[in-house]
């Protein structure tokens, strides 16, 4: 029997895996999602570090992602989704995760407050979800992996709540100097393999590779999603001004 999420070993994660890079307020990353077989952009994605908030002793980040399908695929599947993450500034663990969905003419508003302790009271006016301590949402997990010093840490584990279900994510460094070419430029990157486990069993239709630039900013320039029928590529299309000098 597979071990439950809470019992999966995470001994390879150490203090060096805590975020160390400085995320900049206003950082905007623009991506194009495509399937190489189609040779065209299926959707555009924008990820923004909206602001850093200081709430007493603890600060938090407001992270936002917006996705839109592009023509001609929009005629088949219209998608205009927005995701908002409010994550602890020190650890990128999720405080609140919001999904504002508009797909094929149907809309949905989902707001979930993370409750990590059995004694946490349900929030007023919004939904609350019981999660494991240290749980991150997808946006917080992305920024957390940017903060890992992959030269000293080869693997990290984290519970991740995607707005519907709690998963265990295992991220493993599989390449230290991997050349990547995307519309934003050519980069020397660290390649991270991301495994997603559901109740201790790895999901075969959710396997990813993340490529982070080998510099202090650690831009995520490419995400590959290995699907049963094809591999989707989410490529950085524009390089933020501060990171332009690091492309080659």
10-residue mean pLDDT profile of the chain (248 residues): values are 42 45 92 87 95 81 96 88 96 96 92 92 88 97 96 96 96 97 97 96 90 96 88 91 46
pLDDT of 57 reads 65
Domain boundaries, the chain: 11-246
pLDDT of 38 reads 80
**Cα–Cα distance, 116 to 88 (Å, whole number):** 13
pLDDT of 37 reads 78
Asked whether the beta carbons of 43 and 71 are under 8 A apart, the reply is no
pLDDT of 166 reads 96
pLDDT of 8 reads 42
**Cα–Cα distance, 216 to 37 (Å, whole number):** 34
The alpha-helical segments, DSSP class H, found in the chain are: 138-147
The predicted model scores a pTM of 0.86
Closest CA to 217 of 44, 49, 13: 49
First-last CA distance in the chain: 48
pLDDT of 126 reads 87
């Amino acid at each position: 029997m597979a071990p439950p999420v809470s019992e999966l070993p995470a001994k390879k994660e150490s203090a060096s895996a805590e975020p160390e890079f400085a995320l900049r307020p206003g950082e905007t990353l623009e991506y194009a999602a495509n399937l190489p077989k189609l040779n065209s952009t299926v959707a555009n994605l924008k990820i923004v570090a909206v602001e850093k908030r200081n709430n007493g002793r603890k600060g938090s980040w407001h992270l936002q992602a917006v996705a839109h399908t592009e023509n001609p695929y929009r005629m088949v599947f219209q998608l205009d989704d927005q995701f908002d993450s409010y994550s602890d500034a020190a650890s990128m663990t999720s405080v609140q995760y919001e999904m504002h969905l508009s797909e094929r003419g149907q809309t949905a508003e989902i707001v979930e407050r993370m409750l990590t302790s059995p004694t946490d009271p349900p929030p007023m006016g919004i939904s609350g979800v019981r999660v494991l301590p240290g749980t991150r949402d997808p946006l917080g997990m992305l920024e957390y992996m940017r903060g890992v010093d992959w030269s000293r840490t080869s693997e990290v584990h984290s519970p991740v709540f995607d707005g519907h279900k709690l998963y265990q994510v295992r991220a493993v460094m599989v390449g230290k100097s991997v050349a990547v070419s995307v519309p934003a430029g050519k980069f020397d990157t660290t390649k991270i393999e991301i495994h997603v486990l559901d109740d201790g069993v790895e999901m075969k239709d959710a396997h990813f590779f993340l490529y982070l630039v080998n510099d202090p900013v650690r831009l995520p320039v490419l995400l590959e999603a290995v699907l049963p029928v094809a591999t989707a590529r989410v490529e950085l299309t524009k390089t933020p001004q501060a990171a332009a000098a690091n492309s080659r």
